[in-house]
Structure 1
């Protein structure tokens, strides 16, 4: 089991809640430490410059902003790839129906592959090619191979069907690459470490000051929690079917 499969499963919502809870717990721990009498007695917050906090929060904000930007760009690229798959499937349906009775099995196989994609791989949560989709694709390959061997099928139709098969295989591989290209675990670790350091910096500036600690740590911890949780959810793209013409999508899936 890979780390991505561990995170994206039927317990994905539990994982998101867990990630969102970490900053809140860290904020509470920083508050507890900053109010300890022993620390209050020896630590003088006024000795710290205000630039100290900026030195911690600026790298956190910049790194997280670039990370979210990469995720949004990947989401767009993922949606474009799915749209290309739908267009290619739609074109293959047109070709098979022009072909006539000889290509009816191809028409059925294209529809079966499209429905398998929609159910298992165009949705949020998949991390590797699904076995049922692979079976549907192999069935499509076999059906096209049968059409290739059928002399009653015009040569140009056979060429288009074969080209469509190759494009579908490539696009499926492209989706997998897009999903995993920028999801290295160390990026999430860096975000969490920088966020925790920012919480420590806020606490250090207000050691012994109860109300200042409550306001500063709670607002930052809540913002940190919401941002990280939202970023985790965005990290696993799902197709927005509103970007695909409804008639075209319905035709492919039905």
Structure 2
């Protein structure tokens, strides 16, 4: 639980803070491994450990690379899907507003007011709930449900109004579906166990590098620095893209939806 809270705190920070924390943690781990290797290992144990060959790094690096690649592909896919879902929601809401212009003035006014309530609800309540991964599916969505009720109670007077009514209802249904996918994606993240696996594999690689160069401190220090930097870069890429609708890293903010819709 504490590890999960720490992850949430890190991911809620700006990208530069995430990078500083991650690089600092990786360099700290490398420094601890170096100091332990130099201080705690006796001459006799060092001679025994020298039998370890650099080939040991190959399976560790392959395993680590596969795990990071698997997690990264899922993370970036979620981010791309989140961007696409928001674009779909914007397109459908704009279509609702545009099609409402083909309906009588009183119906048009009610629909525009309903869409305004939906956007206000999204800005003031739903997006903050998404940041906390606590947004809920609703059977009644403020604004959109009202707009649908207005359309269903409207009796078209000509074929043009009937077509506009049908297409507007379809656009609202698609907007509701896009909202549902947006909420589901707000809960998507890298599982704590996946982070633990990556961290453990990274630590094993650092320890293996220290063992391989146990009798060559300068080479050990340089290789630990290089490897810890590479691990930090990978972790930063995952952390800044992990939660598409989070408050840190590369997030999709409410302006992505609200800033593109203009209601006169």
TM-score (norm 2): 0.76
Corresponding residue for residue 59 of structure 2: 55
**CA-to-aligned-CA distance 1:19-50 (integer Å, 9 cap, x gap):** 44332222111101110254344222431122
CA distance in 2, matches of 1:30, 1:88: 55
User: 1:148 Cα shift?
Assistant: 2.2
CA distance in 2, matches of 1:196, 1:126: 31
**CA-to-aligned-CA distance 1:66-104 (integer Å, 9 cap, x gap):** 221222222222211111111111110111122141221
SS of the aligned residue for 1:35 comes to: helix
Between the two proteins, the alignment pairs up a number of residues equal to 249
Corresponding residue for residue 248 of structure 2: none
Q: 1:162 to 1:40 in 2, by over 3 A?
A: farther
User: 1:10 Cα shift?
Assistant: 9.5
The answer as to 2:43 corresponding to 1:36 is: no
Match for residue 46 of structure 1 among 46, 50, 67 = 50
Corresponding residue for residue 239 of structure 2: 232
Q: 1:224 to 1:3 in 2, by over 3 A?
A: closer
CA distance in 1, matches of 2:113, 2:229: 51
CA distance in 2, matches of 1:2, 1:97: 53
CA distance in 2, matches of 1:58, 1:253: 53
Q: 1:253 to 1:198 in 2, by over 3 A?
A: farther
Corresponding residue for residue 133 of structure 2: 127
Match for residue 194 of structure 2 among 187, 193, 197 = 187
User: 1:233 Cα shift?
Assistant: 0.9
TM-score (norm 1): 0.79
SS of the aligned residue for 1:98 comes to: coil
User: 1:214 Cα shift?
Assistant: 1.4
Higher helix share: 1
